A and B are shown apart, each in its own frame.
Chain A
């Protein structure tokens, strides 16, 4: 308890947490701290161990090694009903045999709150989620978004230190999901509670979070703000998993001052910024370039200042309003490069088969130690 004062700004801390199922290590030596009142997401493909980690925080699983503290108090061996955390389940788990009111009152009753005070607290909670009249309804009379809010209110009415959310938006349709992202963020501000949100959907994590941890194979690849992850990924996995990227695989032919020249497997020569200090000449690497950081031009001259220049034919136009993209194939290597179409009107009349020039700066291309998975596998994970 001597460290309690120094760690009080953290609501939840994990140190060297490990969980094994037989020979399989689901969570491998993870340490992190979550500051009070923040929205922390754990982003990873299915099977990366994020659910196991969350269930350890909730108390449904005990870590094999390491310690988990909430507000400086160790939670190892503390059962779920004695922890100051509550969980919003993937399928919400609203009790179907109870009304909305009874669902929200369930936890209050268990906390031993005087019976006379419960209706007022339930009413207050329903008003805060803007469903003041939902109280007497049955759970199956609610829409998806309403259920979502009730499930969150059912937890927040207990004033937990940390609210855990296990991909609760997964079952909603796209439009409602977009809406709920904003609403969840608002609820978090309104109740001023620490949220820990696990998801495999990068846009959910990026939009809502203050901090995101990208998890893979039971370990955290990188923890940072959504901007950090997007603009300065530290590993090839993060670069490939968060956001879209063009990827080339190749060998380092030359390097100096953090800049590498890479001979790709398809025969291109590219220059890029080296990330990490383990890169060496002759090593197999991956280069990632985001579709929106590639400049497009109809003439070669306009791109003359750029370190990487390619030219090719329009292979395909993927029109999607503001998110339209063009796929350009490079005739020499056969590579297909996806580029976001600038919305300046200049390329509105672009046709399949036309010639285009592409270019990008050195700092837009990031070179990582080779990742052990193929493009297809990565796409499947994301």
Chain B
């Protein structure tokens, strides 16, 4: 199975932020969701992949080729969608298409018109009058009309209402039926990714927490609920993080087998959602920071 995207040891520092040796890969024909809280580094990774910002170290290979040495060749096969579409909004969609299309040898007007029809986009209305949903659909239409093999989207559904989000997710699912296409899709709306992603890459405070198939993740993580009397320093250590409440505790484990060995049937095991995983991983990071500052 060949990889559409290979990211190895990617690092980048800003004031107050450090992307730390992130590595992951996306096989051809799959959807990868890039998750993480705001400011975790998702957009930085996507911008590095698209050469909008410079990496400090590491390698990015797209279609097996270095993304900088083969920038033009690689970008011809990428469809990119920003979180907030950037374009000349005094133009109509047709005028905007006429500005962008000449950059692509593979531009396909038939695909463009199909997408326009599917998304019911007005061709001659000024882009600045478009709703957020229409603007995002226009950006996707433009990004996909050159038969891109790799679609990179930075939070494409974050500002959209549930109806438009659902419509777009269905569209992405259809798109991936073509096994030559791959999608990298960042979002903090984890439910979207639970629906459509095959792989999940989780970034927390610039560090890679995991990059695995969705099934592996849901097998690995579980929510554990039980009485507070079961918790002590030793048992707490078996969890990613624990939330103690008046009526009992709720915790996230990333080793269900070990937790079962420790607690047996005295606790309840629930499937952890991506949101639960993000929440408890953040809690773990916060606790580590707190412990470090108090000297524990």
A and B: partners?
no
Give A contacts to B, CB under 8 Å: none
